């Protein structure tokens, strides 16, 4: 009998973000007053017009299977969105709707990667990229970025990381965890590099709507050549406070979209039908609730950055998008607080959770031990109290 488990999958680590958030939630359930900065989801309810659309669908539509790549009406609404927001012309045959952007990213990597391919990722990175790349049998090539460079790819380092095995570059703008937003000229340079070396760009644009200064530009919009090499990833979770509805989507050239559709048809069939109907309304309906959400995030962002930079031992740059701030904790490493020595970001997170009852995500989860990530997808009141606690704990 051979009961060895899958070598590839036993090596995959659990998401640190979800792990810490779950621990903090358990402490809250046990009656402990924990303030969590761990969350990767808006603390707003899904807007009412979207909830109403879901209820209407349940009452009026047949909630059966849909085509595996999504309802034709939703794919049409997504094409309209790409035209309106990104000046991108896609046809429904280019679109695959999936169970969240996470699923779309996995689909994209599975469609393009072969064993020994390399995929370039900037660190600090979103926790799931390296594991997803490994699950697609490829190798993550981690390229460190610097805070002074706003945690963006340095173009020289990016180009020199390319080998004959490079299959794709992952580009995340706005970025989780750093809040970095690439400007048009930087995106054009990345596009040039991709075209020159004939490699794919997986452009994760899930935080597109959450930009505080300036406007999002999609790298795919610079012309047919780069559009053909780009797989654009987006979804409903962050912009529409629809994390639990699990709808993400991608746009790619027809060949890639067809492969993904075929694979998805065997893996998961279609994403949830009710959530698909609700997503049509989300994309086409009144966008005012989203604007209100962005205003609230912006106010918190400014507050949190000012407070952090006033706390001795901590510092951070102003994030330009998403709802996270990367805090430099390097001055605290190697020091003792209340008898607890902090040698790593994990120690720091553990200390803050045990001592200050504040949950943060250690930078090591994003590939950089000198940082911790705070999410400001929590109320201003919680942010104020949480920062008071952090300040006291490291005084
Ligand atoms: C950078 C990035 N991409 C993709 C996702 C996945 O979003 P979802 O699967 O909820 O659509 C997240 C969620 O945290 C993210 O931060």
In the block, tokens 């709808």 appear at: 247
Confidence of residue 21 (pLDDT cuts 50, 70, 90): confident
Q: What is the pLDDT of residues 151-179, one digit of tens each?
A: 999 999 999 999 999 999 999 999 999 99
Q: What is the pLDDT of residues 54-102, one digit of tens each?
A: 999 999 999 999 999 999 999 999 999 999 999 999 999 999 999 999 9
Question: Distance between CA 43 and CA 35 in Å, rounded?
Answer: 13
How far is ligand 1, taken at its centre, from the CA of residue 100, in Å?
7
pLDDT attached to residue 190: 98
Nearest CA to ligand 1 atom 16: 176
Pocket probe mutation, ligand 1, options 46, 101, 107, 322, max atoms within 8 Å of Cβ: 101
How far is ligand 1, taken at its centre, from the CA of residue 98, in Å?
12
How far is ligand 1, taken at its centre, from the CA of residue 157, in Å?
26
Please state the rounded mean pLDDT for residues 200-211. Answer: 97
Confidence of residue 254 (pLDDT cuts 50, 70, 90): very high
Of 130 and 18, the structure prediction assigns the larger pLDDT to 130
Please state the rounded mean pLDDT for residues 237-260. Answer: 98
Please state the rounded mean pLDDT for residues 2-21. Answer: 80
Residue 327 scores a pLDDT above 80:
yes
Overall size of the chain counted in residues: 395
Atom of ligand 1 nearest to the CA of 103: 9
Pseudo-torsion of CA 114, 116, 121, 125, nearest 10°?
90
Nearest CA to ligand 1 atom 1: 176
> Is 172's C-beta closer than 6 angstroms to any atom of ligand 1?
yes
**What is the Cα gyration radius of the chain?**
21
Residue 18 scores a pLDDT above 80:
no
Question: Distance between CA 329 and CA 141 in Å, rounded?
Answer: 25
pLDDT attached to residue 257: 98
Residue 364 scores a pLDDT above 80:
yes
β-partners of residue 203 are 171, 232
Instruction: Concatenate the DSSP letters of all residues of 290-324 into one string.
Output: HHHHHHHHHHHHHHHHHHHHHSTT-EEPPP-BTTE
Average pLDDT, the chain: 95
- DSSP at 15: P
Pseudo-torsion of CA 275, 279, 285, 290, nearest 10°?
100
Residue 1 scores a pLDDT above 80:
no
């Amino acid at each position: 009998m051979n009961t060895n488990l899958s070598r590839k999958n036993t090596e995959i680590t659990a998401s640190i973000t979800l792990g810490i958030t779950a621990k903090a939630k358990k402490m809250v359930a046990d009656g402990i007053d924990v303030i969590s900065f761990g969350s990767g989801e808006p603390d707003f309810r899904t807007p009412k017009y979207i909830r109403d659309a879901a209820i209407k669908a349940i009452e009026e539509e047949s909630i059966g299977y849909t085509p595996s790549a999504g309802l034709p009406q939703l794919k049409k609404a997504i094409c309209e969105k790409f035209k309106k927001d990104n000046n991108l012309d896609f046809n429904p045959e280019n679109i695959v709707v999936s169970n969240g952007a996470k699923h779309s990213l996995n689909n994209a990597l599975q469609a393009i990667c072969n064993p020994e391919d390399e995929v370039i990722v900037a660190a600090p990175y979103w926790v799931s990229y390296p594991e997803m790349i490994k699950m697609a049998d490829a190798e993550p090539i981690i390229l460190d970025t610097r805070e002074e460079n706003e945690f963006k790819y340095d173009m020289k380092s990016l180009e020199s990381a390319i080998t004959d095995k490079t299959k794709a570059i992952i580009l995340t703008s706005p970025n989780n965890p750093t809040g970095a937003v690439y400007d048009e000229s930087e995106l054009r340079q990345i596009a040039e590099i991709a075209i020159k070396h004939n490699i794919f760009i997986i452009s994760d644009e899930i935080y597109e709507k959450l930009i505080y200064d300036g406007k999002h530009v999609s790298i795919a919009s610079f012309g047919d050549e780069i559009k053909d090499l780009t797989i654009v990833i987006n979804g409903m979770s962050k912009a529409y406070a629809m994390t639990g509805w699990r709808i993400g989507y991608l746009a790619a050239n027809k060949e890639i979209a067809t492969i993904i559709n075929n694979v998805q048809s065997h893996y998961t069939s279609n994403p949830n039908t009710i959530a698909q109907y609700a997503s049509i309304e989300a994309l086409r309906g009144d966008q005012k609730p989203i604007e209100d959400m962005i205003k609230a995030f912006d106010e918190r962002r400014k507050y949190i950055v000012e407070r952090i930079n006033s706390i001795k031992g901590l510092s951070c740059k102003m994030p330009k998008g998403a709802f996270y701030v990367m805090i430099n904790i390097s001055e605290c490493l190697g020091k003792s607080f209340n008898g607890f020595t902090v040698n790593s970001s994990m120690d720091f997170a553990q200390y803050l959770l045990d001592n200050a009852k504040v949950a943060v995500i250690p930078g090591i989860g994003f590939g950089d031990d000198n940082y911790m990530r705070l999410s400001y997808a929590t109320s201003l009141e919680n942010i104020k109290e949480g920062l008071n606690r952090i300040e006291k704990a490291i005084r």
